[in-house]
Amino acid sequence: MNTEKYKHIEDNQLLEKFYADKDNEWLGILLQRYTLLLLGVCMKYLKNEEEAKDCVQQVFLKAITELHKYKVDYFKSWLYMVAKNHCLMKLRGKGKQPTEINERLLATPDDVEDKKRHLEKDSTLNNMEIALQQLNPEQLQCVTLFYLEKKSYQEISQDTSFSLLQIKSHIQNGKRNLKIMLDRLNKNEH
């Protein structure tokens, strides 16, 4: 299967093609784009290379079966959810507790819309400066170094005493808190 010639086709176009003729070859092309990411996700949860490999195969099978049953609009987030749930189910089967709370699964494209909405407002930049100052010192430091000074995780880690995982977490939590604070400030304006 030559995937190069389909490189220009978007995920949702490939999905449409699949829904039109139910030819699994389209799914093959689509899923191959995510093999590496899926391997990473499975590895993160299962911590074993062979198990992660098997898990990716099972996720492929599951995806192919499920996509025949119903229509999926946001393929990437859906696939991530399938993979993550499959890993968590495997961990539960083994008697291990999942290492992460499921909260982040809720991140859907709506999130993107929310952010767009914020960006469109002129007052957002002023509010952003206010909100930024309300972050806790760790989040403020990581967000500033990452977004405003364009430093990489590695450089931030060298400049601060944080580990890479802590930096990622401070940036993500900082962003989330900024969004919440902006929502609040924008509401107060009306």
Partner 1 sequence: MNTDLKDILSNSNKDIDNQKLMDYLTNELSKSASHEVEENMADDDFLNDAVEGLQEIKSTKNMEAYVEQLNLDLQKQTAKNKKRKEKRRFKDQPYTYLTIAILLILIIICFVVIKKHLDAKRVTNPPVAENTRKPNLD
Contact flag: residue 47 with partner 1 (CB under 8 A): yes
List of residues 6+ apart from 9 with CB closer than 8 A: 17, 29
Contact flag: residue 88 with partner 1 (CB under 8 A): no
Q: For residues 28 and 19, give the distance between their C-alpha atoms in angstroms, rounded to a whole number.
A: 13
Contact flag: residue 176 with partner 1 (CB under 8 A): no
For residue 31, which of 71, 79, 82, 91 has the smallest C-alpha distance?
79
One residue of 66, 96, 125, 184 binding partner 1 per CB under 8 A:
125
Contact flag: residue 49 with partner 1 (CB under 8 A): yes
One residue of 45, 72, 88, 90 binding partner 1 per CB under 8 A:
45
One residue of 104, 123, 180, 184 binding partner 1 per CB under 8 A:
104
Token reading at 152: 């990489």
One residue of 175, 183, 185, 186 binding partner 1 per CB under 8 A:
175
Nearest to partner 1 of 95, 120 (CB atom): 120
Contact flag: residue 77 with partner 1 (CB under 8 A): yes
Q: For residues 10 and 73, give the distance between their C-alpha atoms in angstroms, rounded to a whole number.
A: 13
One residue of 25, 73, 110, 159 binding partner 1 per CB under 8 A:
25
Q: For residues 43 and 39, give the distance between their C-alpha atoms in angstroms, rounded to a whole number.
A: 6
For residue 19, which of 9, 8, 31, 27 has the smallest C-alpha distance?
27
One residue of 13, 16, 57, 110 binding partner 1 per CB under 8 A:
57
Token reading at 157: 């880690």
Distance, C-alpha 25 to centroid of its chain: 26
Asked if 87 contacts 42 with a C-beta cutoff of 8 angstroms, the reply is yes
CB of 190 to partner 1, least distance (A): 19
- Output Rg (C-alpha) for the chain, integer angstroms: 20
Residues that bind partner 1 (CB under 8 A): 1, 22-25, 27-28, 31-33, 35-45, 47, 49, 52-53, 56-57, 60-61, 64, 76-77, 79-80, 84, 104, 107, 111-112, 115-116, 118-119, 124-125, 128-129, 132, 143, 146-148, 150-154, 165, 168, 171-172, 175, 178-179, 182
